[in-house]
Structure 1
């Protein structure tokens, strides 16, 4: 038993990651990281979540949910920035926790991240599908329900072919190389930001102040709507919006000068994204009463069409359709690098940790694409939106706590960081506690999903990972 515990908590030597990740080509600069991050944050979430959260939880106070969410995410972003500066390895939190706490905790953290990435890819693809359908419907084209939504016997939905198509296209793009994709991503992000600004300006002219009253609706007992409970439930759900900087960190090994560029990409993404989220949320709930956005996966375009701004609505839909690919690219890229890291460490079959002659882990990319197609095409959009934050929060908690193990090793067996989390040792604990509180406010579905997901992950680790781990073969 003692030997088992020793193996579970054995820490990875950073030189192992340095030698293996050297096969990946560093090609991303600060601008590329901001493009990836903002492309994800100002992506499906900004065009979909504000309406859903307002209708289901917070009412007009949805902007408060985003502000509370960014406080928790911002604290974690400081921890991510320091960890990525010291440990520039593929796999982000999975690799960091392996080095700092041991393989078992690293695997659990990585497994939680994998759930987040898979569900995020499916969520964004489903949101993209909804915008395509809304755009086609506005032009008089009606697509059969059986092929336009996830499995739902009540509505006749069987499979979402649009979502599957989006995932496949992004997978093919990424197989050509990160540097080529980042150029496309940066161009899409610039266009998308301009259209978000256009929505804010045009939507502002259609605001009715009465829609903000009451700003925080009374709590409805037995539900997660209204009052402080509703605002916090909304903050828990919108953590999807902030997976952008986590996905940025997954690409550390392919970043030029990560000690400098990673903090810029992570913190810059958070600041830019939050400003847009708050403004879009306030405009959206000001245009129409919050309850009309229930189960609406394209609230921004819908609101513009309802207000008579058909040209702007169709422009937003077109840009959302193109722009959501930017979000898909970022998440898809991060999930493939995480699977590569599992294969690199021997915790999943080693072929996943191989790179091709172009220095790309396309074996991992193929597996991720197939799995994401299955999840995105089968599960309904609203179901996915309730589940996506759990894995993110677990990773935030672990990375925040990891600063206590990281700081004593800096300047000794690990490099000194170019960025340090401020107010140490208070802020790492505050960050972990905040994320823990948000996790407590998640829906029961999200908690049960993570419990089941962890059970599967622990089985895989003990039946395969522990036996094949390259660290334990030393």
Structure 2
């Protein structure tokens, strides 16, 4: 469990991955992944169910925690630009067993997040069709056992399209990503500008509603409601891990990784807070209860029907950016497991022509299609944050083990987490506090996932690990 991988081994193994991604590509990848389905859904949901107009504070506090962890990620990625992000880093600084736990946690995020975004894209696409009086038969519109469904065919098609784009290389995928991210940000800015003309100041009063318990036992109003909103909103910000997972393909990673990670988070937080404030200003937060697409609803009910249709259309197209980002990062994580023998080595093989981890991409796509096509959207949304927060805690504490080795057996990076040794501890505590705010079901499912992971590690990983073959 405590055997540490030599960082030079990872440098050698990942040297065949082409370094083609720039700061612009990572900003697009980060913004595209973070500003995904969630910005068009979560602000309204959190306002109605937990925070009222103070949803903007939930966005801000979640961003502060994510920002602290992002500093740790930026230093790790600059010092160790390896595929697999937290999995590979923790392998080097804590040991193989701890690396497996962190990587297994992230693997849950990517399997589920790809399916979650595909399901969200499908829901928004069906909503867009409905505005034209069109619909998809229930059997092909919903997951198995949900509302008469057999398979969510739109989710399946979305994953397959993104897999085909990525199959041809990250340079081509980055070009598609860059264009779609610009379109999506323009759509969000258009909503903000139009929404500002329909704001009613009285909707902001009281800004922090009085606390009471919801029927399901969750908190509404007061600081407890804001805290509940933080834990819900936080799943939107975990996308910066997708940047770090691709650091082995970065040009000049010492500069590109910190700029990409921190820059994309700043852009995303600004957009989230703006959308939240505009939404609750347009209509009283109670109107958003049970509304799956509050941005489109607010525009339509304020008389901007054409704008609602256009923005929702661009939003659906823009959701492909999150799928591309998650699938790119998830396939690199699976590749890292195969590279190290922790999972079948087939996953760690690169294509002979382009040096791409397409075996891992294929397996990720098949699993994501199965999850997204057959499990409902609400079920998936509960499971994303838990595993990622555990990986975040590992990375935050990992700075204490990384710093003494920088300039020795690990490169001395140009970017370092400021206010060491205080900030890594704050990042750890922040991630722990957000984790404790998750609902019980999310914690139970993540516990089951970890038990399965430990069984696989001791039954397969330990025996086939490349580190244990030395």
Matched, 1:263 2:255: no
Deviation at 1:303, TM superposition (A): 1.5
Alignment gaps of 5+ in structure 1: 1-7
Partners of 2:85 and 2:241 within 8 A in 1: yes
- Following the alignment from structure 1 to structure 2, what is the Cα–Cα distance between the partners of residues 12 and 389? 28
Question: Against the structure 1 CA distance between its residues 111 and 295, is the aligned structure 2 distance closer, same or farther, given a 3 Å change threshold?
Answer: farther
Equivalent positions of 1:305-316 (< 5 A) are: 305-316=300-311
Is 1:298 the equivalent of 2:293?
Answer: yes
State the partner residue of 2:153: 161
Residue 415 of structure 2 corresponds to 419
Give the aligned partner of residue 340 of structure 2. Answer: 345
Q: Which residue of structure 2 lines up, in the alignment, with residue 50 of structure 1?
A: 43
Deviation per residue, 1:86-137 (Å, 9 max, x gap): 0010000000000000000000000000111122111211111111111100
Aligned to 1:367: 363
Task: State the SS of the aligned residue for 2:68.
Answer: helix
Q: Which residue of 1 aligns with 2:15?
A: 22
Q: Quick one: distance in 1 between partners of 2:143 and 2:52?
A: 27
Distance 2:45 2:114 in 1: 18
Alignment of 1:398-417 (within 5 A): 398-417=394-413
Residue 164 (structure 2) pairs with residue 146 (structure 1): no
> Aligned to 1:22, what secondary structure does the other structure show?
helix
| Deviation at residue 295 of structure 1 after TM alignment | 3.8
CA–CA distance in 1 between the matches of 2:151 and 2:397? 41
Q: Which residue does 2:438 correspond to in 1?
A: 442
Unaligned runs of 5+ in 2: none
TM-fit CA distance, 1:218: 2.4
**2:172 equivalent to 1:193:** no
Offset of residue 333 of structure 1: 0.5
Deviates more, 1:21-30 or 1:121-130: 121-130
1:358 corresponds to: 354
220-229 vs 12-21, greater mean Cα deviation: 220-229
The answer (yes or no) to whether the contact 2:218–2:228 under 8 Å persists in 1 is no
**Corresponding position of 1:467:** 463
Counterpart for residue 116 of structure 1: 109
Answer with 287-296 or 371-380: which moved more.
287-296
8 Å Cα contact 2:7-2:409 kept in structure 1 = no
Any idea what SS the aligned residue of 2:339 has? helix
CA contact (8 A) 1:83 1:403 kept: yes
For the Cα contact (< 8 Å) 1:248–1:334, is it kept in 2?
Answer: yes
The verdict on how the C-alpha distance between 1:296 and 1:381 changes in structure 2, with shifts beyond 3 A counting, is: farther
Alignment TM-score, normalising by the size of structure 2: 0.97
Task: String of CA shifts for 1:215-235, please: whole Å, max 9, x gaps.
Answer: 222222332322212211111
Distance 1:297 1:33 in 2: 29
Q: Note if 1:334 corresponds to 2:326.
A: no
Alpha-carbon distance, 1:292 to partner = 3.0
Separation (CA, whole Å) in 2 of partners of 1:132 and 1:285:
24
The answer for the alignment partner of 1:5 in structure 2 is none
The root-mean-square deviation of aligned C-alpha atoms, in Å, is: 1.2
The offset of 1:424, in angstroms, is: 0.5
C-alpha distance in 2 between matches for 1:146 and 1:297: 20
Structure 1 stretch 157-166 or stretch 74-83: which is displaced more?
157-166
Moved more, 195-204 or 139-148: 139-148
Shift in CA distance, 384/293, structure 1 to aligned 2, threshold 3 Å: farther
Aligned-pair CA distance for 1:432: 0.2
For 2:309 and 2:240, how far apart are their aligned partners in 1? 30
What is the CA deviation profile of residues 50-97 of structure 1, one whole-angstrom value per residue up to 9, with x for unaligned ones? Answer: 112222222221111110001100000100000000001000000000
Q: How many angstroms apart in 2 are the aligned matches of 1:449 and 1:71?
A: 26
8 Å contact from structure 1 (residues 244, 269) kept in 2 = no
Work out whether residues 46 and 280 of structure 1, in 8 Å CA contact, stay in contact via their aligned partners in 2. yes
- Offset of 1:151 from its aligned partner? 4.0
- 8 A contact 1:127–1:297 mirrored in 2: no
User: Structure 1 pair 158/443, CA: closer, same or farther in 2 (3 Å)?
Assistant: farther
- Counterparts of 1:349 and 1:194 in 2: how far apart (Å)? 43
- 1:242 corresponds to: 237
Q: Which moved more, 1:348-357 or 1:297-306?
A: 297-306
Give the SS at the match of 1:231. helix
With over 3 angstroms needed to count, the CA separation of the structure-2 counterparts of 1:159 and 1:56, relative to structure 1, is farther
Distance of 1:269 and 1:434 partners within structure 2: 20
- Give the Cα separation in 1 of the matches to 2:108 and 2:391: 11
TM-score normalized by the length of structure 1: 0.96
Shifted more, 281-290 versus 397-406: the winner is 281-290
Q: What's 1:84 paired with?
A: 77
Deviations 1:27-72 (A, max 9, x none): 1010100010111122212112111222222222111111000110
Count of aligned residue pairs for this structure pair: 466
